[in-house]
Amino acid sequence: MKTISNPSPSKWRKLTERPMIKQQKLMSTVEKIFYDIHRKGDKAVLTYSKKFDFPDQDSFVVSSETIEKASDLVSERLKQSIELAAKNIETFHKSHIEEIVKVETAPGVVCWRESRPIERIGIYVPGGSAPLFSTVLMLAVPAMIAGCHEIVLCTPPDSEGNIDPAILYTAKLAGVTKIFALGGIQAIGAMTFGTETVPKVDKIFGPGNQYVMAAKRSAQYYGVAIDMPAGPSEVLVIADQTCNPSFVAADLLSQAEHGPDSQVILLSCNKKIIKEVNREIDNQLAALPRQDIAALALKNSKAILFKDIDECMAFSNMYAPEHLILAVENPALVSRDVINAGSVFLGNWSCESAGDYASGTNHTLPTSGFAKSFSGVSLDSFIKKITFQQLSEEGIISIGNAVETMAEAEKLYAHKNAMTLRQGAVAGKHLQNIEDKNEEV
């Protein structure tokens, strides 16, 4: 990792920049594939899947028999680990369920909000050399808690046309309703438009390469929501003299091995710590099966020496990392200054991989600086919040004149009339009650 010492604040913005990907050609490819899928449906989807993933593919529907058999191919140890993670993820996300609170904003005017599930969601799970079955848990478990009626999963087949059995096992465990052996742009396009086989979904979730991310961005133009804009994975570690350099190096490498375009950043106010971490990175890198990938990621990465932890924290907030690890003396105190981050890990024992798998928090997080304006996936990502209001006759009296006055000022006279008629009806009813009482007397 390249080391930079005490950069001036004027250079910080440049240091926060991620490696850029040329978008014009990428988006042109996406639009061509989307156009074909919109017109030709399954035929186009299968053509592209055979071209990019498995040449001999004749169907992309994963049968229930294949899903059932997958369970026999997953070790008991892994099953137990997946079940533990699922339980923790469920526990954490269930804690986000909100009670309905009704508020009387004025006499006779009651307002409240209720949650409703998004009906059909699509989950994209990368395959290849790192089949991310953990992502199935992170997306399907909260979708199930939210009550989504249909959970569609797309994941690419390998070179022999198979899907990793751990993905299939986890999908069944987490309540996925349909699974398709589809990857890349064609998977996103199928879920965006719907085909004879693949349902059109209302919102698409999940990570992916630059082609998948570009396709998700395009999906929004066709009326399908996405979880968040995202790019390559990243981690930023702030470390002081109390850190364990081997732990810090392991955390940096765990993110670097995701892909060559991943980025890892080390910030410290201690020159010795930076040297020790770099030494540990070299030692641990040599033993990694994915060392070639991690080494490429480290070329895009840097260690930066600042004068104190306050400067480290200020730079971190400007960078807005996907994952932020505070390997410092008093992490809880330092965490009060966190403004922008996807997920924060406090202290030497809180490794980022715990959040990736089994602590319970969601690992689908904003990258590329989007943590400044986006949250990570949560239960809220799978629901809509609908407001309700109920006015009584007393409510008409309470706010009627204000509504009429404001509507008239905006020259929206039909709006005014909707309230005027009700005010008249309330006044007439009140007058009738007075007359009835007089008659009784």
DSSP 73: G
State the residue for tokens 């020159």. Answer: 271
Clarify whether 323 is annotated catalytic. yes
**Considering only CA atoms, which of 179, 178, 173, 137 is closest in space to residue 157?**
179
Q: Are 355 and 84 in contact, with CB atoms under 8 Å apart?
A: no
Catalytic residue among 93, 258, 323, 363: 323
**Considering only CA atoms, which of 216, 219, 274 is closest in space to residue 243?**
274
CA dist., res. 257 & res. 267, Å (int): 20
CA dist., res. 417 & res. 404, Å (int): 8
**Considering only CA atoms, which of 159, 203, 196 is closest in space to residue 181?**
159
**Could you write out the DSSP letters of every residue in 127-168?**
-TTS--HHHHHHHHHHHHHHT-SEEEEEE---TTS---HHHH
- The amino acid occupying position 75 is S
Q: Is the dihedral of CA 101, 105, 107, 110 positive or negative?
A: negative
**Considering only CA atoms, which of 357, 356, 361 is closest in space to residue 81?**
357
For 172, list phi and psi in degrees, rounded to 5. -65, -45
Clarify whether 322 is annotated catalytic. yes
Q: Is 341 helix (H, G, I), strand (E, B) or coil?
A: coil
In the chain, the N- to C-terminal Cα span, in Å, equals: 94
CA dist., res. 3 & res. 159, Å (int): 40
Strand pairing category for 103-106 and 109-117: antiparallel
Give the side-chain half-sphere CA count within 13 A for 136: 27
CA angle 286, 209, 118 (to 5 degrees): 130
Catalytic residue among 276, 322, 352, 404: 322
CA dist., res. 42 & res. 61, Å (int): 11
For 356, list phi and psi in degrees, rounded to 5. -65, -25
Residues 6 or more apart in contact with residue 304 via CB below 8 angstroms: 3, 4, 5, 7, 15, 265, 266, 267, 268, 315
Q: Which residues are catalytic?
A: 322-323
